[in-house]
Structure formats: C-alpha cells, structure tokens
A = this chain, B = another copy of it.
Amino acid sequence: MRDFSADHRWLSINTATVRKQRGIDLPLPDILEACAQRGIRAISPWRDQVHAAGLATISKLVKTHGFELSGYCRGGMFPAADAAGLKAARDDNRRALDEACELNAACLVLVVGGLPGALAGQAAHKDIALARSQVTDGIAELLEYARAQAMPLAIEPLHPMYAADRACINTLEQALDVCDLLDPVSAASTAGPRALGVAVDIYHTWWDPKLQAQIARAGEQQRVLAFHVCDWLTPTTDLLNDRGMMGDGVIDIPRIRGWVEDAGFAGYSEVEIFSTQNWWQRDCAEVLDTCMARHRSAV
C-alpha cells in the first residue's frame, strides 16, 4: 500500500468539493488555480462547472496547469419514461464522452439514474427492474461509442438511499455483473484497463458486507478505474449534502484503500465532499488545505 503520509501526489480534487462556498458559485478556473497553487496534480470536474466556463477554456487550463483528470463527472441518467427521453439521454451521454476525451480524463464516471422523474419528486413508474434494464441497454450503447474513442466508462454504484432517484446500481457486485455482461473478459485480454469498469466510492460502498470480496473481483479483471473518498458522519443530517471530511466519520478508509490497491489500483484518491452546512460554508483555501492534510493523515 502506498504511503500517503509525506505528500499529496496521489490526491485528486473532485471540484464539487468547493463548488459553492458560502452560497457563491466558485468558477472552475478559480478552483483550478487554487489547486495548482497547492501542487495538487489531479482534478475531477463536473460538467456543469465545465460548461459554465466553456470547454475550450477548461481544456486549455488543464493543459497549462498540467492537471490529470482522475475522472469526468458525469454521464449516466439512462432511464426515461419514453423513447424521446431515452434518445435525449443517449445524445447527452455522447456529448459527455466527447468532453471527457477533450479533457483527456482517465474515465467517464457513470451515475446511472433511477426511476424516471423521481429526482423531481414525480416518479413515472415504480418498476426498478425496468429502470435497471434501461441502464444496461444505455451503457451497452454508450460503450460502443466509448470504445471507438478509447475512453473507459466507470460505473459508480451509488448508496442504496439513492436507488429511487439517482442510481439504481447500488452495489459493487451489481455493477460488476453489468461489466461482465457487457464487457466480458477473455483470456486473451487480461492486460490493461478495461473499456468498462467501476468507480469505487467509499461513501456509497463502505457498509457493504461483500465489499472486500467484490473489490478483489474487480481487481482480477482490472476494473477499478477510480477511487473516491470522503467520510460517513454519525449522525448524517441530509441524504445528499452531509458528507464528511476524511477522518471525521466512521469509515475505515485506509483498510478500504488497502483492498483497492491490492486489487491493482494505483491511481488518484479523489476527494468528493458535498456539504451544505459545513465545508461549503468555508473558504476554498481552507477546504483544499484540509483535504491535503487529511489525505496524508486519514486516507
């Protein structure tokens, strides 16, 4: 297991971590500047932040600063209530993939979506099996497009509390079953990263009694494409925006990182914290400095 205690060379900042400080949207170029000043080598930006600044501008800044992208957030949201919705999702995912390529991301992260309409509070139906079927179909279609551009797709299993409205892939086992179905590993193709893999986010997966075994399974197939960290607070006061800084919660982060590295992952540890009441109420500088310190002490 790599020693993170001396530096932050393997730290990546998911830019949602400092997206809106004290109610004011922080422009992505400012976030990149603040990361560059601190010698942070990698980022993972969100599409809306990129769009607000302009893809060309961000692409240029990424090159200027020499950033790597540990991932690009995000594609997915495949299920829809009708054919028009499915087509709109397909088209938008292709645009997301094009952007990931332009930014030379390590992977396009997929938050696959749940019941159509549920995120707006009006689910079109209650058939989660149908949603899951649409997710599989959507990934299959995007995978063809992604293979042609050599951009890996990383399915991110989301915590089961998001099954209705954000992602109906909720365990690593389930995500890997989809990988096996759509991107089978032949004996001849075991070297190198897969076209389809997973993003292991400890916030979403830490509770899973099968986590260690499924990380090992992912490793056997070179499917660990990204590793995301934050912490689970007790109590957690909001289902979405009360994530903790590493070390402030109950997740045994080094243990899980050890499993992920045993599985062959040697990339960045990406910090992704949504925190309306705490970290989004502080200066960007303080948040980034804390991420760096906790990366060394608690990851």
Q: Do A163 and B207 form a contact, CB below 8 Å, given A121-B234, A126-B251?
A: yes
Count A-side interface residues using an 8 Å CB cutoff: 33
Q: How many copies does the complex hold?
A: 2
Is the C-beta of A236 less than 8 angstroms from some C-beta in chain B? Answer: yes
Chain A positions 167 through 191: 1 when the CB is less than 8 Å from some CB of chain B, otherwise 0: 0101100100000000000000000
Within 8 A of B (CB), among A103-153: 115, 118-119, 121, 123, 126-128, 132
Closest to A117 in B: B234
Whether the Cβ atoms of B208 and A160 lie closer than 8 Å is yes
Known: A132-B209, A250-B126. A165 touches B239 (CB 8 A): no
- Interface contact B123-A234, CB-CB below 8 Å: yes
**Contact flag A234-B160 (CB < 8 Å), given A207-B170, A252-B127:** no
In the assembled complex, how far is the CB of residue A127 from the closest CB belonging to chain B, in whole angstroms? Answer: 7
A115: chain B residues within 8 A (beta carbon): 234, 250
Task: State which of B118, B126, B171 has its C-beta within 8 Å of the C-beta of A252.
Answer: B126
| A 208-239 to B, binary, CB cutoff 8 A, 1 in contact else 0 | 11000000000000000000000010111101
Chain A 243-261 interface mask (CB, 8 Å, partner B; 1/0)? 0000001111000000000
Contact A123 B250, beta carbon cutoff 8 Å: yes
Chain B contacts of A250 at CB under 8 A? 115, 118, 123, 126, 164
Which one, B121, B159, B237, B251, contacts A161 given CB within 8 A? B159
Known interface pairs A160-B160, A161-B159, A234-B165; A209-B174 also in contact (CB < 8 Å): yes
Which residues from chain B contact A161 at a C-beta distance below 8 Å? 159-161, 236, 239
Which residues of the partner chain B approach A165 to less than 8 Å between Cβ atoms? 234-235
Cα separation A237 to B232 with both chains bound (whole Å):
17
CA distance A164 to B118 in the complex (A): 27
Taking the nearest CB of chain B, how far is it from the CB of A173, in angstroms? 8
Q: How far is the CB of A166 from chain B (nearest CB, A)?
A: 10
Contacts of A168 on B, CB cut-off 8 Å?
207
Judging by beta carbons under 8 Å apart, are B171 and A209 in contact?
Answer: yes
A165 to B234, CA, bound (A): 7
Contacts of A118 in B (CB 8 A): 234, 250
Give min CB distance, A230 to chain B, whole Å. Answer: 14
Contacts of A123 in B (CB 8 A): 234, 250
- Given A128-B252, A132-B209; A234-B164 close (CB under 8 Å): yes
Ordered by A's residue number, 15 sampled pairs between the chains whose C-beta atoms are within 8 Å are A118-B234, A119-B234, A121-B235, A126-B252, A127-B252, A128-B252, A132-B209, A161-B161, A163-B206, A164-B207, A164-B232, A165-B235, A168-B207, A170-B208, A174-B209
| New contact pairs (14) apart from A170-B207, A236-B239, CB-CB < 8 Å | A118-B250, A119-B234, A121-B234, A123-B250, A126-B252, A127-B252, A128-B206, A159-B160, A160-B160, A161-B161, A164-B234, A168-B207, A170-B208, A170-B209
